[in-house]
Structure 1
Amino acid sequence: MRTALRTLVTGVVATATVLTCSTAWATPPGPGVTARIISRTTVNGTDYTLREITVPPGQSTGWHYHDGPLYGVVEQGTLSHFDSGCAPDGVYRTGEAIREPAGADHVHIGRNLGTTPLVLDVLYVLPHGAPFSEDAPNPGCPFQ
C-alpha cells in the first residue's frame, strides 16, 4: 500500500511539475562545442584560466555573461559576436583579438556562421571560484 501511495504521489508531483513549469531559461552551447583548459593559476583571489574553445560550424556558445573580463584570440575560423539587442557587435577573424567586459549587463552570444570549426584561445580573469560563464536567457533574438 505504501509503495502504491508513493508511486501515486511521485507521479502527481512529476506531472504537476511538467505542466506548471516553464521552459528552462538557460541557453546552453550548441552540440559539439568543446573547451579544454590549457593553463590555470590563482593570484590574490583572482583565477586566471587559459582555455581553448572549439565551436563547430553552425553552432553557438549559448547566451551568457561573465563575472570577470575575458581576452581572446581567434586561432581558426570566424567568430560572429552578438549583444543582447540582437545586433552584431563584432566579427573576429583568424589572428584577431576580442575583449568581453564583465557583468550581467553584458549578455552576449558567440556564433560560428562559417563552414570551418571556430577555435578560440581565451583568458578568463575571474573572481576565485567563479564559473567560466553564467547562463542567460535568449533576450528575444530570432537565433540561438
Structure 2
Amino acid sequence: MKTPIRIGLAASFFLASAASFAQAPGISRTEVLTQDVSVPGRHAVVSRVTVAPRGVLGWHIHDGDEISYVESGDLTLLVAGKPQQVVHAGGAFVVPAGVAHSVRNDGEAAVALITVHVVAKDKPLATPAAAPAQ
C-alpha cells in the first residue's frame, strides 16, 4: 500500500517542478504545433518562445534534441561543459538530448526564438537540472 503512495507523491513533485519550471518569470512559450514523427513513441513540439529583457530560463534538460532559431534579439546560451555563446538574430543552435543548458537575455529588448523538440510523448518537454559546477 505504501508503494502507490510513494509513486503518487513522486509524480506530484515531478509535475509541480515541471509546471513551475514552465512558468519561469520573463519567459513565455506558445506551442505552435505538436505532431507525431517517424520514431515510435516520439513527437515534435514546435514553439515560439519570448525571453523578456533580463529574463532567464534556468538550467534544464530535454529527453530529445532541441533545435532553435533566434528570430530577433541576442540570446546568451549556456551549455554544460561548453563556453558561453551569444546567438544573434538569424542564428541557430542545437542542444543534444540530456545535456543541461540555460538561456538568458542580457539585452534591453525581448528575444524571440522558434524551438523544435523531438521528445518522448510520455515525458515532460523539459526537466529542471542542477547548474553544472564551474
What TM-score results when the alignment is normalised by the length of structure 2?
A: 0.75
Report if the CA contact (8 A) 1:64-1:107 is conserved.
yes
SS at match of 1:31: coil
Deviation readout 1:45-92 (Å, 9 max, x if unpaired): 21101001111011111110111001110011111111235841x211
Give the whole-Å Cα distance in 2 for the aligned partners of 1:83 and 1:50: 21
Structure 2 vs 1, CA of residues 87 and 123 (structure 1 numbering), >3 Å: closer, same or farther?
same
The answer for the alignment partner of 1:36 in structure 2 is 30
Match of 1:56 among 33, 41, 52: 52
Runs of 5+ consecutive residues of structure 2 not aligned to the other structure: 1-16
Give the whole-Å Cα distance in 1 for the aligned partners of 2:111 and 2:124: 22
Equivalences, count:
114
Deviation readout 1:82-137 (Å, 9 max, x if unpaired): 1235841x21111111111001xx21111111111011100111112221111012
Higher strand share: 2
Give the whole-Å Cα distance in 2 for the aligned partners of 1:100 and 1:139: 15
Instruction: State the AA in 2 paired with 1:47.
Output: H
Runs of 5+ consecutive residues of structure 1 not aligned to the other structure: 1-24
Q: How does 1:70-109 map to 2 (within 5 A)?
A: 70-85=66-81, 87-88=83-84, 90-103=85-98, 106-109=99-102
RMSD: 2.3
| Structure of larger gyration radius | 1
What TM-score results when the alignment is normalised by the length of structure 1?
A: 0.70
Identity of aligned residues (%): 30
Report if the CA contact (8 A) 2:73-2:89 is conserved.
yes
The answer for the alignment partner of 1:133 in structure 2 is 126
1:112 lines up with 2:76 in the alignment: no
